[in-house]
Amino acid sequence: MVRLIGLEDLLDGYKVYLEDSFRKELIRKAVEQTDGLVKLSKSVGVDWSSLCKIRRGYRILKGKQSIYFVKIGLLKKLLKLTQSSIRETEKHVTGIAYSKHMVKVKLPIIASTELASLVGHAIGDGHASTERFKYINKSKELTSEVKQFTKEIFGIDGRDFIYKDCFGIEYPGIVGRLLSLIGVPLGRKVIQEIKISEWIKSGSKEIKSAFIRALFDDEGSFVLGKHQKFISISMYKRKELVGSHLEFLEELRGILIELGIRPSKISFKKDWKDTKEFGFRIYSKQSLMSFYTHVGFTHKIKNHELSYYIENYNNLKL
């Protein structure tokens, strides 16, 4: 089990919701340790009425009941005061919030094929920021995959929308913030360095394949021409970041090689405004078969074309 996000990784601004029995016991121990609620209030720098709301687990605001979260800074003070284990505590977290938005997630968040796929899509056609995480693609099955994995990992539903001829899904900023903790860049990808997270590079073949599949679903293509058959991938980057971009593509090639797939060397494609496009291709029959077997596409059209090529290889003119 590879831990990616634990309670210790959440910085100021995050809030958590704890199971009732654990939360009440934690406050009881802290009150006992400081000899009273008022003294505890002074010790941790929080109004005693707020501590009562935390113990109760909810507050009444404008006649409505809403759950009451514990700020991560306060929680860490309470854990230190009561000498409670942070690793044991995270087992009792049922939700994480930032600003007004909450995700129902169990800690720790661990490495998985679903999360690797979500990272691949975020680097591909996704966009993560502190305000939102959104994904836009012409393929409904890819948008559905992002929705499914986001729901499974973060326990949250997104807002569906249509953008031109594409399907879109949008989530609040807390999803973008949490994705950034596991290696997803925040903001415009074309103007910043992107690195493949170590947990993916050193992960299982299944994790590597899931990441590659998602990225190629978004940024790759399969060309089934009369004279050439190949899978290609290319991405743009600001000219001053070309060096780091080439390193990213080399890391991508390295993962493919580990999966038994031999890509071409990286080549320059074209200039566009203040960016440059670089990419590589996968040509040989053996590598295309390995890609089909070990990676494949979730994108129906791409996978159908690659499947057709593999199944009818001997009948096609090369």
Give the per-residue pLDDT at 318: 45
Distance of alpha carbon 126 from alpha carbon 189, whole angstroms: 10
**How many other C-beta atoms lie within 10 A of the C-beta of residue 280?**
21
Task: Give 280-315 pLDDT, tens digit per residue.
Answer: 999 988 999 999 999 999 999 999 999 988 887 655
The HSE-up count of residue 110 (CA atoms within 13 Å, CB side) is: 5
Lowest mean pLDDT segment, chosen from 62-76, 128-142, 183-197, 199-213:
62-76
Farthest CA pair distance, the chain? 85
Domain boundaries, the chain: 14-108, 215-315
Give the per-residue pLDDT at 211: 98
Give the per-residue pLDDT at 63: 65
Give the per-residue pLDDT at 1: 83
3's enclosing H/E stretch is: strand 3-5
For residue 28, what are the contacts with CB-CB under 8 A and spacing of at least 6?
55
**Angle, vertex CA 277, rays to CA 276 and CA 280, nearest 5:** 145
Is domain 215-315 in CATH 3.90.1150.10, yes or no?
Answer: no
For residue 256, what are the contacts with CB-CB under 8 A and spacing of at least 6?
212, 262, 263, 282, 291
* DSSP one-letter code for 253: H
Is domain 14-108 in CATH 1.10.260, yes or no?
Answer: yes
61 pLDDT higher than 70: no
Give the per-residue pLDDT at 216: 97
